[in-house]
Amino acid sequence: MLIISFNVCTKNSTNYSSISNNIYAPINSSYSSILQLTIQNPRFASDPTSSPLIIITPQHESQIPPLIHCAQETKLQIRTRSGGHDFEGLSYRAQLPFVIIDLINLSDTTVDVDRKTAWVGVGATIGSLYYTIAERSPILGFPAGLCPTVGLGGYISGGGYGTMMRKYGLAADNVIDAKIVDAKGRILDRKSMGEDLFWAIRGGGGGSFCVILAWKVQLVDVPKKVTVFRVSRTLEQNATQIIHRWQYTAPKLNKDLFIGIQLSRTNTTQSSYNVTIIASFFSLFLGGVDRLLPLMQESFPELGLVREDCTEVSWIQSILFIASFPIETSFA
């Protein structure tokens, strides 16, 4: 009954003809594939108890206000999904009957090199934004996440940390404008929404307050060559002591230097009982190796970094390295 009521409401809207082919109910053959497109937690993918009644994939921002109106009229909750992965399932699960507004089609990105800004639709991923920036300039970047498949809608609205945050802050700190649809169906920018709401959507979760359509972000300067490294140490190689030292050293490092740690378990022999922990220290340094090595020797000598551990690459190649892709990966 709720599906019928929602469909009747949308059919009476002025934009129905333009969006009718982008509305999917469980009876549609494409419903399951669209629902599961960005679900990366198998537990949620196989749980039918909290599936949406309808999925809508708008092609244009003007199609969204009628959807908000119809959801209110039929007392359906709205979940917004913007591309990328969501391990918690907050963008495609709910306890009450709901619809998904999937914004994956709103992914256009426009870079203004002269003003060092970019408008990016929330359906874009971090990786696609990085790539578009690098296409336009080798000395501009954006301080966002380590994983290129993360969608920008939820990522920035949750704050957004990454390898350049020590120098440039969170992704949300570098948002200078936004386009949203509020609960009344109004399309607003920073000026018309007001500073309180603009503050709230940059860290408070955009889906809590509105449907975010696009972000305008401030790009940052990056060197033509940056330095990356990944150094692994096992428990037998004093990994525990090095991690302990890292906890005290990392906050005091040069702002151009980020060092993170990934912990994993591995067998030291074919026997499953001989297990050790590997601490993998990975890093981005906004500069060359000749400047990095003295900094490491002064601030974090316990890691034992040597020149052979380091590679000078472009900023876009550093994204591949941090995400564990080969830096020679082609974007063609």
Q: What is the CATH number of the domain that holds 68?
A: 3.30.43.10
One domain, residues 172 and 93: no
- Counted residue by residue, the chain has a size of 332
Q: Is the pLDDT of residue 10 over 90?
A: no
38 pLDDT band (50/70/90 cuts)?
confident
Domain limit, last residue, from 157, 188, 221: 221
Alpha-carbon distance 122 to 22, whole Å? Answer: 18
How does pLDDT run across 164-212, given as a tens digit for each residue? 999 999 999 999 999 999 999 999 999 999 999 999 999 887 677 899 9
Alpha-carbon distance 151 to 107, whole Å? Answer: 10
Of the candidate ranges 81-90, 136-145, 152-161, 308-317, the one whose mean pLDDT is the lowest:
81-90
Residues 129-137 have a mean pLDDT of 96
pLDDT at residue number 263: 94
What is the domain range of residue 49?
2-102
3-state secondary structure at position 204:
coil
pLDDT at residue number 332: 46
How does pLDDT run across 233-252, given as a tens digit for each residue? 999 999 999 999 999 999 99
**Within a domain: residue 327?**
no
Alpha-carbon distance 64 to 70, whole Å? Answer: 10
271 pLDDT band (50/70/90 cuts)?
low
pTM of the model: 0.90
In the chain, the percentage of residues whose pLDDT exceeds 90 is: 64
Residues 152-157 have a mean pLDDT of 90
In degrees rounded to 5, what are phi and psi of residue 300? -145, 55
**Within a domain: residue 319?**
no
pLDDT at residue number 270: 58
pLDDT at residue number 321: 95
Residue 142 belongs to domain with CATH number: 3.30.465.10
One domain, residues 185 and 231: no
Q: Where in 77-192 does DSSP place strands (E)?
A: 77-81, 98-102, 109-112, 117-121, 140-141, 175-181, 187-188
**In the predicted model, what is the mean pLDDT of the chain?**
90
Q: Which two tokens stand for residue 118?
A: 């970019």
